[in-house]
Amino acid sequence: MKVGIPTEVLEGETRVAATPETVKKLRALGLDVVVQGGAGLSSHFTDEAYRAAGAEIGSSELALGADIVLKVNRPVAAEIAQMKSGAALAAMMALCHHEDILDQLAAGGIDAFALEMVPRISRAQSVDVLSSQSNIAGYRAVLEAARLYGRFFPMMMTSAGSAKPTRVVVLGAGVAGLQAIATARRLGAQVAAYDVRPEVKEQIMSLGAKCIELDLGESGAGAGGYARQLSAEAQDRQRSLLAGELKKADVVISTALIPCKPAPVLITADAVAGMNPGSVIVDMAAATGGNCPLTERDRTVIKNGVILCGITNFPALMPGDASAFYARNLFNFVSLCVTAADNGLQMKDYLEDEITASSLVTHRGAIRFKERK
């Protein structure tokens, strides 16, 4: 049974779905591995390193024609056309915004797994690609803010005078937000954070940040630990109350997302106008519309003197570690999918395991995807 690792074709993507480390582990499971030539170069993994780990270096056709295809991002039509019927595909599909590929995958007889659909249960932590990549994104977003902001993050005492610590506000205390809090604190900033889910207050405070509490008249806690969409009245009140907090901020890291919904608007144009010139907003929700309507996807712009950063793929800015974490998640996922048989390895019944069943979006020519509510 062969595993294929093609080069990622999405513009700006630098990650790869397997590293020499995980190739060795896949080989130890009894799987053959073919890596497309040059697939790991953007992540600083050479073809020679893959060969030394036991992989075959081949063409895109060879990698995409494997029994199991591992990718970072959803495949494009040309890639799907090269996959064989009955093959298994695992990738981050972003299906809430790209459902169109499901028909193509089903028509091709491909059993496709959307890794973002893995359930948030204890046993699934080792395959949780959202958490591993969000951790990296939260860290890198703060570094980008520090690069864009023209002042020190920590308090600095020098012979030429002192500099006050930067005031950072983090909106959203999921995995990315909590990592952003921790990173900003390590850099010496004063940090405050806000989340619509009241149960995360303890986590915010445990990282040394102040918790911003707003009386919205309802909770934003949803199923599975995710946030839910607030009522229109609560959203209006939230934006109004947050504007006062944002005026005090030098840097805002905005991470608020609602699964399968446009990103909630938390930072209005009026709120931006009320911030000090030179302040920075890093809008990590830019890929789904942004938490600020002034954000421009994959651009850094200045509006009303405030710097707005709309990078949509922060993990790609740290490709070595991002690929290493992602590839380990994928190895653990593959381990759940295969089992030893008399004639070698074979695929398990995907529907018998909660993890594989929840993430299986096309199976035997049928579409199984259901939006997260």
pLDDT along the chain (373 residues), means of 10: 97 97 97 98 98 98 98 97 97 85 95 95 96 98 97 90 94 97 98 93 96 86 69 90 95 92 93 97 96 98 98 98 98 96 88 96 92 48
Q: Are the CB atoms for 34 and 56 separated by under 8 Å?
A: yes
Would residue 125 show up in a list of annotated catalytic residues for this protein?
yes
CATH 3.40.50.720 location in the chain: 2-117+319-361, 137-317
- 315 — phi, psi (to 5°)? -60, -30
Which position among 226, 235, 239, 335 bears the catalytic label? 226
Which position among 67, 128, 250, 283 bears the catalytic label? 128
Would residue 140 show up in a list of annotated catalytic residues for this protein?
no
Architecture of domain 2-117+319-361 in this structure: 3-Layer(aba) Sandwich (3.40)
Would residue 283 show up in a list of annotated catalytic residues for this protein?
no
Which position among 36, 42, 43, 131 bears the catalytic label? 131
So what's the pLDDT on residue 21? Answer: 98
Q: What is the DSSP annotation of 68-88?
A: EEEEEEPPPHHHHHHSPTT-E
Would residue 321 show up in a list of annotated catalytic residues for this protein?
no
Which position among 125, 206, 231, 346 bears the catalytic label? 125
So what's the pLDDT on residue 371? Answer: 55
- Residue 164 DSSP code: P
CA gap 125, 355 in Å, rounded: 10
So what's the pLDDT on residue 373? Answer: 42
Architecture of domain 137-317 in this structure: 3-Layer(aba) Sandwich (3.40)
94 vs 164, 317, 349, CA distance in Å? 41, 19, 24
Tell me which residue has tokens 């806690």: 221
So what's the pLDDT on residue 90? Answer: 98
Question: What is the amino acid identity at position 77?
Answer: A
Tell me which residue has tokens 């619509």: 196
Q: Against a cut of 0.85, is the pTM above it?
A: yes
Which position among 27, 51, 120, 372 bears the catalytic label? 120
* Sign of the CA dihedral with 97 first, then 98, 102, and 105 last: negative
Would residue 131 show up in a list of annotated catalytic residues for this protein?
yes
- Residue 10 DSSP code: S
Q: What's the longest Cα–Cα distance across the chain?
A: 76
